[in-house]
Structure 1
Amino acid sequence: MTSTTSTATSGVRDRILGAAMELFYVDGINVTGVDLVASRAQVSKRTLYKYFPSKVNLVEQYLARLVQIALEPWEAEAEGPRDRLMALFTVPERGTGRMRGCPFHNAAVEAASAMPEIADFVHEQKHAFAQAIIGLCRDLGVADPDVLGLRIALLYEGAAALSTSLDSVEPWRQARSTVELLLEAADPAGDGSPR
């Protein structure tokens, strides 16, 4: 395969995945059929199935891409574990539509009976997410990184869910200020040194 062919193939695949990401997140997985994804990506249904052999595979690739996107604040130029944790609690800007919350939760709920593989994927990602937060707390040198990490993960998940239910960014503001308090309590000197 030539470089040009490889680039074109990647472009078509990315276009399909981009259309699926937008539609699955905004409209939902169950109501979004592959016909609509193909139409939005401006490809035939046959072309879509060439790159994604099933809707389940397309949903899995959508979620896998979201994992990569979710890691970006952690891989950004943060000055350390505290900044990386706080990057998770950046208050989102209010868009024009309803807040849709965590796409992983949405996928788990929507796919619960129809696509059990998706629920398993979400479970693994949520566990890995909590473990990554615990790892950042460990890097901070706090006395009990497991407890602090799970509390921060809970605040993140709660903010995502409540912001959806209330259609408001306020839960993110509250969660952010609570995480700041937790981190200050874990570092009473306020100088970044472990207690």
Structure 2
Amino acid sequence: MDATTTKTQRRGRGGRERILGAAALLFANQGINATGMEQVAEAAPVSKRTLYAHFPAKSDLVMAYLRELTTSGQTLESVLTREDLDPRERILRLFDLPAPHTSPVRGCPFIDAAVEFPDPRSAVHAYAREQKTLMAQLVTELAAELGAAEPAALAEQLVTLADGAASRAMVLDQPDYGRHARAAAEILLRRALAPAG
């Protein structure tokens, strides 16, 4: 990219979107805490003044990044609201981890954010917890729709499997690791939905 292109991008509109796009890539590649605001500004590319005009603190940028993820359809949880799939398939798709855009595999961005902001009272940690609570609620509703006798208990078991699979996929750098948890989820669903007697 030449200097003219860079200046044109900096003067043009869309600075906020470029900042969020750059932050998403950097956070995925190297983690939130390892990414500095100057790196984000350079990757966007925007001036530091523009960056701080949109996001006065790094936590503001992280919150915007997480909110953007929530609406992007690229998280594990997004499959739970797909109208084109039946309830059982929605649950089982939790274990089909999204194809990684980067290597290494990063796992669940909400768990990653909660780990990097460990204070449960911080806005970032609280938002991650909110998303994980919503995930369990959505699975509870689907389990109830399927006729599970104890949908909330089943949902907690299933989301624990999904989050565990995402974490192990990251640690082991294996994007297809969810297949192991999916097999366990199929057994849980079969038992929970089997006719009594």
Give the structure 1 partner of residue 154 of structure 2.
148
Give the structure 1 partner of residue 88 of structure 2.
82
Question: Following TM superposition, by how much is the alpha carbon of 1:140 offset from its aligned partner in structure 2, in angstroms?
Answer: 1.4
Question: Following TM superposition, by how much is the alpha carbon of 1:53 offset from its aligned partner in structure 2, in angstroms?
Answer: 2.2
Question: Following TM superposition, by how much is the alpha carbon of 1:174 offset from its aligned partner in structure 2, in angstroms?
Answer: 0.4
Structure 1 SS opposite 2:34: coil
Is residue 78–residue 84 contact of structure 1 (8 Å, CA) maintained in 2? no
1:55 to 2:58 alignment: yes
Q: For structure 1, which runs of at least 5 residues remain unmatched after alignment?
A: 1-7
Give the structure 1 partner of residue 118 of structure 2.
112
1:35-184 matches, cutoff 5 A = 35-68=38-71, 69=73, 70=75, 71-93=77-99, 97-112=103-118, 116-169=122-175, 171-184=177-190
Q: 22, 25, 29: which is aligned to 1:26?
A: 29
Question: How far apart in 2 are the matches of 1:89 and 1:46?
Answer: 42
Is residue 91–residue 173 contact of structure 1 (8 Å, CA) maintained in 2? no
Q: For structure 2, which runs of at least 5 residues remain unmatched after alignment?
A: 1-11
Is residue 92–residue 172 contact of structure 1 (8 Å, CA) maintained in 2? no
Give the structure 2 partner of residue 15 of structure 1.
18
Root-mean-square deviation (CA, aligned residues, Å) is 2.4
Structure 1 SS opposite 2:33: coil
Render the CA deviation track for 1:146-165: whole Å, top value 9, x for unaligned: 11101101101110111122
Amino acid across the alignment from 1:58: L
Question: How far apart in 1 are the matches of 2:117 and 2:138?
Answer: 25
Give the fraction of aligned pairs with identical amino acids, expressed as a percent: 41
